[in-house]
Amino acid sequence: MTDRLPVIIAGAGPTGLMCALALRKQGIPVILFEAEPALTHDLRAGSYHPPTLEMMAPYGITDKMHETGLTVRKWQIRNRPGDLVAEFDLGLLKDITPYPYRLHLEQHRLTPIQLEILQRDKEVEINFGHRLESFTQDSNGVTVTFATKDGQRTVKGSWLIGADGGRSAVRKGTGVEFEGFTWPEMFVVVSTPYNFGQHGFALNCYIADPVEWGALFKVPDEGPPGLWRLAYPVNPEESEEVLLSPERVENALQRLVPTGKPYDIRYKSTYRVHQRVAASFRSGRVLLAGDAAHLNNPLGGFGLNSGIQDAINLSDKLARHWHGESEDLLDLYSRQRRSATVEQVQAMSIRNKQTMEERDPAVQRQRLEGLVAIANDPEKARQHLLNTSMISGLKRASEVQ
């Protein structure tokens, strides 16, 4: 490359911060911009699969996460009224990963760790309160205009990485189609310190039910006793005020585990769920990663993990190009990560949701009996864990040329 303009990164979420850290580790200048005035407080994501932990370990992130994160070796499939269907033990993978478990830590506790490590690098410029308005590009680089409290700011860079979330201004600016659909129902997420573990629930559970399926998992919060977070579907035609009313939320929790007394509700919110993938993760000198490139439902915990995996793959290929290899590497990034997203993340998260919500009793029984058979066969269980932990999908995607 003849120019040495910095790489511009839009978005200081886990993906954007990971891109910045990985590029800087390979000597590439970066400027990071975030539209919000500070790191955001996302209450949805918080489960990390073994390969993601491996990818973050060289930066000191994984060790820091373990100081407060919860290690989750076993996860369960249950049905209402809470009966155990199948349990999977990630310990079966101890011979192929140093992290044979999921780690639970809220996303808003990961990003400060990433930011603190990045801030040790005095050559990195980090800008909050910079909302991307527009950009242009040519064969030499990109010119990006941001809106700030002090007016517009224009910055020139060699490449632009859009890691600015599902409503990505970068993606919209490229005109790249965001293919897929939005699920018809809304989701409610509720957090409580009530200990579901005393009823046999693992720290990560998926609950099958034709009407009110759900996902339950525990996060550390500020410390013991932590919080249990339940996500479940609701009617999108009802108002948020109704869906989050104390009575409605209380009834949902009592249907999961009747306690005879009110639950202590700490947080509650609604959100829409999408299954979308950008038609390409590259448009000239503009590259997409994380939620800007793909969105999926939360069943399986793939979204945040795939964003980190995007960042590592992209940073490796951009660094190789920076140091003299072919620009075609960026097209390979797009092919590999889009393949992983479509064939693994989208396929598995959609299948997980369909299994949880199946309304035909015979079909549901067949699917759940299939999961029992897998869980009871060590070889089948191992393969299932390789798939659901994103290990197999990453291997397949790495073979894409």
Residue in 51, 41, 165, 30 with CA at minimum distance from that of residue 97: 51
Domain contains 236: no
Q: Check residue 243 and give its pLDDT.
A: 95
Domain contains 200: no
Q: Check residue 272 and give its pLDDT.
A: 86
Q: Check residue 82 and give its pLDDT.
A: 65
pLDDT surpasses 50 at 2: no
pLDDT surpasses 90 at 359: no
Measured between alpha carbons, how far is 60 from 75 in angstroms, rounded to an integer? 26
Based on C-alpha coordinates, what's the Rg of the chain? 21
Residue in 141, 112, 121 with CA at minimum distance from that of residue 6: 141
What total of structural domains would you count in the chain? 1
pLDDT surpasses 60 at 3: no
Q: What is the pLDDT of residues 45-102, one digit of tens each?
A: 799 999 999 999 999 999 999 999 999 999 999 887 668 889 999 999 999 999 999 9
Kind and range of the H or E run holding 314: helix 303-322
Domain contains 196: no
CA pseudo-torsion sign 98, 108, 187, 288: negative
pLDDT surpasses 90 at 355: no
Q: Check residue 119 and give its pLDDT.
A: 97
Q: Check residue 324 and give its pLDDT.
A: 95
Q: Check residue 371 and give its pLDDT.
A: 87
Measured between alpha carbons, how far is 282 from 330 in angstroms, rounded to an integer? 7
Q: What is the pLDDT of residues 125-172, one digit of tens each?
A: 999 999 999 999 999 999 999 999 999 999 999 999 999 999 999 999
Q: Check residue 225 and give its pLDDT.
A: 92
Domain contains 14: yes
Domain contains 223: no
pLDDT-above-70 percentage for the chain: 99
Average per-residue pLDDT for the chain: 92
Q: Check residue 1 and give its pLDDT.
A: 39
> The CATH number of the domain where 322 resides is what?
3.50.50.60
Q: Check residue 212 and give its pLDDT.
A: 82
What domain range is 324 assigned to?
A: 7-180+274-398
Contact between 312 and 23 under an 8 Å Cβ cutoff? The reply is: no
Q: What is the pLDDT of residues 363-395, one digit of tens each?
A: 878 888 888 899 999 999 999 999 999 998 888
pLDDT surpasses 90 at 110: yes
pTM across the whole model: 0.92
Domain contains 227: no
